[in-house]
Amino acid sequence: MKDFILQCNNIKKSFQIGKKKLEVLKGISLDLERSQWLMLLGASGSGKTTLLNILGTLEQPNSGSLKFDGRNYTEYNPTRLRNEKIGFVFQSYHLLPELNVLENVMLPAQLGGDYSLKKRAIELIERVGLKDRAHHRPTELSGGECQRAAIARALINRPELLLADEPTGNLDTATGHEIMELFRELHRDQKSPLSIIMITHNPDLAHSYGTRSLTISDGRIAPEN
């Protein structure tokens, strides 16, 4: 039997803009097996971020069902599901400028009520190659270094699923590849299996790094080839 970390069935989402209803997701169904690395492609405005936000409980669908680890999302406390099981990485890093790397990495854990994770945070900072930058603030880091810090932060609560929205979109090609190599190491090395859904505009990246790719087109998943 397949071990699905995520199952999403017939997700629909529309936005009301004035009198007009914009149907963005028109029935998205997809399953993610544990430790798969799914790449999501699609034109700008096709609804990739909207879908990722729904999968990460940041937005609500209008209809459809979602399961994490075989249990309906409605059975979870959404905040705990988001904080404890899911890690997020964004194109623009979303680091807090007034905190240094170590403080940024520890932040989600502190929100979860656990203050004893400094050791793990330092291990993660070393893991992502920022050993000498732990006490620097984001303004003192390059884009690639900021993204490394954001990846460490996403992993602090040992998530089972990592959601990444164009994590190399702001980086030059070489730095982007370094970050993708880091994702690859994490995907392979994690003692507990890490599943990844990543949005990218770059089909070559999707092909080189993902274990599977899907394209969103006209609000639906285009047939797999």
Ligand X SMILES: Nc1ncnc2c1ncn2[C@@H]1O[C@H](COP(=O)(O)OP(=O)(O)OP(=O)(O)O)[C@@H](O)[C@H]1O
Q: Is 70 in the site for ligand X (CB under 6 A)?
A: no
Please identify which residue in 6, 8, 24, 141 interacts with ligand X, judged by CB under 6 A. Answer: 24
Nearer CB in complex with Mg ion: 7/49 = 49
Nearer CB in complex with Mg ion: 65/92 = 92
Nearer CB in complex with ligand X: 7/49 = 49
Number of residues interacting with Mg ion: please give it, by CB under 5 A. 1
Q: Is 215 in the site for Mg ion (CB under 5 A)?
A: no
Please identify which residue in 3, 29, 45, 140 interacts with ligand X, judged by CB under 6 A. Answer: 45
Please identify which residue in 7, 8, 11, 49 interacts with ligand X, judged by CB under 6 A. Answer: 49
Number of residues interacting with ligand X: please give it, by CB under 6 A. 12
What is the SS3 assignment for the chain?
CCCEEEEEEEEEEEEEECCEEEEEEEEEEEEEECCCEEEEEECCCCCHHHHHHHHCCCCCCCEEEEEECCEEHHHCCHHHHHHHHEEEECCCCCCCCCCCHHHHHHHHHHHCCCCCCHHHHHHHHHHCCCHHHCCCCHHHCCHHHHHHHHHHHHHCCCCCEEEEECCCCCCCHHHHHHHHHHHHHHHHHCCCCCEEEEECCCHHHHHHHCCEEEEEECCEECCCC
Please identify which residue in 10, 15, 72, 114 interacts with ligand X, judged by CB under 6 A. Answer: 15
Please identify which residue in 49, 53, 168, 213 interacts with Mg ion, judged by CB under 5 A. Answer: 49
Q: Is 50 in the site for ligand X (CB under 6 A)?
A: yes
- Return residues touching ligand X (CB under 6 A): 15, 17, 22, 24, 42, 44-50
- Return residues touching Mg ion (CB under 5 A): 49
